[in-house]
Amino acid sequence: MERFKDVLKANNLKSTHQRLAILDCIDTYGHIDIDAIYDTVFKKYPSMSKATLYRNINDLISFHILEEVKLPNQKQQYEIRKIPHIHLLCKNCAKVEDFFVETHSLMETITLNSGFTISNSFIVMNGTCKECKV
Ligand SMILES: [Zn+2]
Ligand SMILES: [Zn+2]
């Protein structure tokens, strides 16, 4: 919780209880959709409406504290912004794992060979996770 207070402060955002609860919830789950965030935060703050939740999430995205996670055939999820990483999506249990790997040289190869300028990327690898493989 404390580190999120500092993050909000560094962005000149008021650290409201609701914002902290939202960040804490997303941090706990790693990747989570809006309904699940609402269910969790609502238990603590029953007065919070879904509109308020959406507004807070959008504020946190615009300040690059949160990031949208768009996975194929899945509800949109959110995560705490981290250093660039790729996502491993299990086709069996739908678990999403972060995998931190250097993607700079891949981006460079694409740019050099296609002439395409990449503004942002979201890489997903589909497959079977360690737990589902046994
Ligand atoms: Zn799995
Ligand atoms: Zn991630």
What whole-number distance in Å separates Cα of residue 129 and Cα of residue 134? Answer: 9
Query: CATH number of the domain that 106 lies in?
Result: 3.30.1490.190
Q: How far is the CA of 93 from the centre of ligand 1 (A)?
A: 4
The pLDDT tens digits for 46-85 are: 999 999 999 999 999 999 999 999 888 889 999 999 988 9
- pLDDT score recorded for residue 84: 87
Residue 102: phi and psi, rounded to 5, are -75, 120
Q: How far is the CA of 68 from the centre of ligand 2 (A)?
A: 9
What whole-number distance in Å separates Cα of residue 105 and Cα of residue 112? Answer: 10
| Number of domains, the chain | 2
- Mean pLDDT estimate for the chain: 93
Tell me the pTM: 0.86
Query: CATH number of the domain that 66 lies in?
Result: 1.10.10.10
Sort strands 66-69 and 77-80 into parallel, antiparallel or unpaired. Answer: antiparallel
Residues 11, 59, single domain; the answer is yes
Residues 9, 66, single domain; the answer is yes
Q: How far is the CA of 88 from the centre of ligand 1 (A)?
A: 10
Residues 66, 105, single domain; the answer is no
Domain range holding 28?
2-80
Residues 38, 69, single domain; the answer is yes
Q: Tokens in use for 84? A: 């660039």
Residue type, 26: I
Q: Tokens in use for 15? A: 């650290």
Residue 85 contacts residue 75 (beta carbons within 8 Å)? no
Residues 113, 65, single domain; the answer is no
Residues 108, 72, single domain; the answer is no
Q: How far is the CA of 96 from the centre of ligand 2 (A)?
A: 7
Q: How far is the CA of 41 from the centre of ligand 2 (A)?
A: 21
**With helix as H, strand as E and coil as C, how does 65-88 read?**
CEEEECCCCCCCEEEECCCCCEEE
- pLDDT score recorded for residue 121: 87
- pLDDT score recorded for residue 1: 64
Q: Which regions of the chain are under pLDDT 50?
A: none
